[in-house]
């Protein structure tokens, strides 16, 4: 049995748009042969997730999640192409999982493009001060800041966050896997997260950690 490397999985995902676990499974099934794995995914209907990205999603589900005790509440709208898929248990459960993830992970934006420019500049300023105070050479500070900003996006933008129920997958990868399973384009359109007393006292982080702990 050939060893399946992360690079092989990445290459297959880039060629097919299929989910990471589907790519791993295909490579194992075909003993590491990339071309055979690609054909296998196409035969299974799993190799077209990225190609569905431009199709209109006008159906879907609005789901809510209320954390025990009513301290955190989330509403999220996830869209698909047909009412048929929107009504399936798999899709409804998926949307509920997204709502629970938002409660636990507290994203500040759907994508990195949605993060306000002033927020990014504020973070850059903080990172620059930290780097200078730590004695880092001036010539590498910009590179350090860029790396920290990338990490900031991955930790705070919903599509890039690691899924709380499976940290090997990002939310974007979870969506691609659902696209492969349903055969339809799927997108998270919007969400709202409420925290009891937010702005009045520092409870958001503690409550988010409590939700995350319960989901593990």
Q: Are 18 and 47 in contact (CB under 8 A)?
A: yes
Determine the pLDDT at residue 97: 96
- Here the CATH number for the domain that contains residue 22 is 1.10.8.10
Quote the domain boundaries for residue 141.
116-154
Please check whether residue 64 lies inside any domain of the structure. yes
User: In which residue ranges of the chain is pLDDT below 70?
Assistant: 1, 17, 45-56, 199-216
Give the residue from 63, 68, 82 showing the smallest Cα distance to 192: 63
Considering the domain architecture, whether residues 26 and 131 belong to the same structural domain is answered as no
- Chain center to CA of 172: 4
Considering the domain architecture, whether residues 16 and 120 belong to the same structural domain is answered as no
Determine the pLDDT at residue 20: 77
Q: What percent of the chain has pLDDT over 70?
A: 85
Determine the pLDDT at residue 183: 83
Determine the pLDDT at residue 188: 94
Considering the domain architecture, whether residues 175 and 209 belong to the same structural domain is answered as yes
Considering the domain architecture, whether residues 182 and 125 belong to the same structural domain is answered as no
Torsion angle defined by CA atoms of residues 186, 17, 52 and 44, in that order, rounded to the nearest 10 degrees: -90
Q: How many domains does the chain have?
A: 3
Considering the domain architecture, whether residues 43 and 59 belong to the same structural domain is answered as no
CA-to-CA separations, 214 to 92, 139, 197, in angstroms, rounded: 20, 44, 21
Determine the pLDDT at residue 189: 93
Please check whether residue 1 lies inside any domain of the structure. no
Considering the domain architecture, whether residues 18 and 106 belong to the same structural domain is answered as no
Please check whether residue 126 lies inside any domain of the structure. yes
Q: For residues 178 and 57, what is the distance between their CA atoms, to the nearest angstrom?
A: 14
Determine the pLDDT at residue 49: 56
Determine the pLDDT at residue 147: 92
DSSP E strands in 43-101: the ranges are 59-66, 72-80
Please check whether residue 162 lies inside any domain of the structure. yes
- Here the CATH number for the domain that contains residue 146 is 1.10.286.20
């Amino acid at each position: 049995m050939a060893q399946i490397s992360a690079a092989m999985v990445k290459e297959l995902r880039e060629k097919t748009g299929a989910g990471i676990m589907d790519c791993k499974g295909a490579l194992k099934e075909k003993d590491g042969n990339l071309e055979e794995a690609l054909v296998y995914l196409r035969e299974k209907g799993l190799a077209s997730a990225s190609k569905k990205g431009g199709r209109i999603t006008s159906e879907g589900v609005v789901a809510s999640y209320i954390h025990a005790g009513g301290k955190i509440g989330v509403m999220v709208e996830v869209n698909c192409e047909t009412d048929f898929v929107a009504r399936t248990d798999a899709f409804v459960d998926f949307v509920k999982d997204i709502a629970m993830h938002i409660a636990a992970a507290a994203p500040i934006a759907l994508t990195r493009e949605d993060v306000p420019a002033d927020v990014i500049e504020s973070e850059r300023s903080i990172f620059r001060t930290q780097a200078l105070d730590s004695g880092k050479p001036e010539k590498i500070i910009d590179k350090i800041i860029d790396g920290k900003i990338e990490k900031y996006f991955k930790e705070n933008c919903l599509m890039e966050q690691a899924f709380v129920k499976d940290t090997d997958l990002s939310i974007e990868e979870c969506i691609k896997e659902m696209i492969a399973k349903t055969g339809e384009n799927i997108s998270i359109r919007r969400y709202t997260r409420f925290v009891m007393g937010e702005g009045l006292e520092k409870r958001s982080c503690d409550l988010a950690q409590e939700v995350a702990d319960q989901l593990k």
